[in-house]
Amino acid sequence: MPSSWPQPAVLENLLNADNLGTKNGGKTATTPTDGDDAPSSPLYDHRVLALYKFVSPKIPKESLPALKAELETICRQHLARGTFLIAEEGINGTICYPFRHKAAAATAISTATTAVVDEDSLATVTQESIVERKEDGDELLSLLQAKFDGSLRIRISPADRPVFARLKIKIKSEIVTMHWQGDKQNSKNSDGGAEETTAPCSTRSQDDKNGNDKTTNICSGSSCVPCRPSERNGEYVKPRDWNKLLLDPETLVIDTRNEYEIDIGTFRNAVNPHTQSFIEFPDWMKQNLVDGNGNDTVDEKDGNVNSNSSNKMDDASAKKRKIAMFCTGGIRCEKATNAAMQLIPKDVSVYHLEGGILAYLDEVSEKESLFDGDCYVFDQRVAVTYENLPSTNFRQKCHGCRHPLSNKDLERDDYHHGISCRYCADKLTDQQKSRFAQRQHQMELALKEGRQHIYDPKEEAPTENEKKKSRQR
């Protein structure tokens, strides 16, 4: 099984909702209309908050454990689940939590299909009335912003259920793993001085028993220029101005995401680097942005000549005078532009989409949009579409390889629920398929018995008496 596919832990009972009559704890609320047979709309009583920030100056390494503890306390107080990565360079993560709309804030929501009760009750917020508001009584968001001087880059989405099964906060060497340590001779440092650099350092990263990052640097030179997005990056482009770059013949638009994300949706005219992990993107840039004239490159490790790479662009694309990058929420393309600016000539302008695809889908109408497909997200929603609402086409991931699956994929003969799909059926060993089948059986048993198969160990786990009562029911 290719390691390039997304490999998060099994966090949810991803059973077929249509066959089993449930939707992972989701609720349905009927919106009052003129008729009694009106279709039901999802009750969006949870908020998904994606955020990141590259900080300057860096967070002292010795302060990271205290920050981790503080974030965990804040999140657990608000019943948040998800993942935060913290490092000296900043914070990155996505969490989901119940969100109570205070009456004062709820009045800002379109009232056409919204029922606002009292301050202590959940407002019934339906698909037709979701809008993003940053100041709407969200205490958790306010606390997080205050911790980072109100400068967190955020994106808010609605959810009709928890989209994560547990809370994880990890100390890492990078908040988005790129393994870039600089590659350009005589690059300018933050003070404007020349800084001799060598080939990029390679790193080995592995989580310790507490989930924190243990990184070993294997440096090939005495001085390197790492990515410093907080000091320099490409020019932000607002979502409503992004189409101009997509249609500009002099602009090279690059999707910095992975292949399995691009498979389900991307912008028209965007280049697909065919990378399976973000750590492969620096090599792609070196092959295409530095050596864009089509010449062969020499591998820095073994000295072998790399020619006719399948990931190389055509000469005309590589020689464009503007480069624009994008990703899901903005963090990967922001870091990538910093690396690109160390590689390319100074007369090449570099841009990136502010807020990523999520901001674009939230602010640009489908009629005006140049985005085709849906946007992959790293949670149980699988993908989102316009207004950041859950996709109706991609609602499950394969349990064997984690590739997002369309509704048509689920109807194929080579799809085996909980075991394999068309992307991995011929790649998995018999031993892997047997193991996945056993796991799926345990998940189905848990659902039938009314208990959680996967839960946060720091949250209150179901007791034996509760399990027995559940079985009796």
Q: What is the DSSP string of 399-465?
A: TTT--EEETTGGGSTT-BTTTB-TTTTTTS-HHHHHHHHHHHHHHHHHHHTT--SS--TTSPPPPHH
Q: Which of 266-280, 431-445, 447-461 has the lowest mean pLDDT?
A: 447-461
For residue range 51-69, list pLDDT tens digits in order. Answer: 999 999 999 999 999 999 9
Nearest alpha carbon to residue 362 among 131, 135, 161: 131
The per-residue pLDDT for range 221-268, each reduced to its tens digit, is 333 456 677 677 899 999 999 999 999 999 999 999 999 999 999 999
- What average pLDDT does the segment 447-451 reach? 85
Average pLDDT over residues 448-472: 64
Residue 66: predicted pLDDT: 97
Give the other-Cβ count within 10 Å of 269's Cβ: 14
Span 208-216, average pLDDT: 54
Say which DSSP state 383 is in.
E
What is the overall mean pLDDT for the chain? 75
* Six-digit token string for 379: 């949670």
- Statement: residue 92 has pLDDT above 60: yes
Extract the tokens encoding 420.
């394999």
Instruction: Kindly name the residue from 75, 227, 327, 401 that is annotated as catalytic.
Output: 327
Give the mean pLDDT of 455-465. 64
Residue 96: name the closest of 35, 163, 32 by CA: 163
* SS3 state of residue 98: strand
Q: Average pLDDT for residues 279-291, to the nearest whole number?
A: 86
Q: Compute the C-alpha angle 119/124/130, nearest 5°.
A: 110
Check residue 219 and give its pLDDT: 36
pLDDT digits (tens, 9 = 90+) for 314-349: 555 556 789 999 999 999 999 999 989 888 888 899
Start-to-end CA span in the chain (Å) = 40
What is the tens place of the pLDDT at every residue in 6-38?
333 333 333 333 333 333 333 433 334 444 555
* Cis? peptide before 57, omega within 30° of 0: yes
Residues 6+ apart with CB under 8 A from 386: 361, 362, 365, 366, 369
Distances (CA, A) of 43 to 115, 158, 160: 11, 9, 5
Look up the pTM and report it. 0.73
Structure tokens given for 458: 């720091």
Whether the predicted pLDDT of 71 surpasses 60: yes
Q: Are 370 and 254 in contact (CB under 8 A)?
A: no
Q: Can you tell me the mean pLDDT for 434-454? A: 88
Q: What is the mean pLDDT of residues 420-429?
A: 95
178: pLDDT confidence band, cut at 50, 70 and 90? confident
The structure tokens 């989580």 sit at 207
For the chain, domains (ranges, CATH) are 43-100+136-175 (3.30.70.100), 176-181+228-292+315-388 (3.40.250.10), 398-456 (no CATH)
Q: Is 327 among the residues known to form the active site?
A: yes
Q: Of residues 203 and 408, which shows the higher confidence score?
A: 408
102-121: per-residue pLDDT in tens?
A: 433 333 333 333 333 333 33
pLDDT at 397: 94
310 phi/psi in degrees, rounded to 5: -65, -20
Tell me the per-residue pLDDT of 353-412, one tens digit each, with 9 for 90 and over: 999 999 999 999 999 999 999 999 999 999 999 999 999 999 999 999 999 999 999 999
Per DSSP, what are the bridge partners of residue 371? 267
Tokens for 33?
């209309």
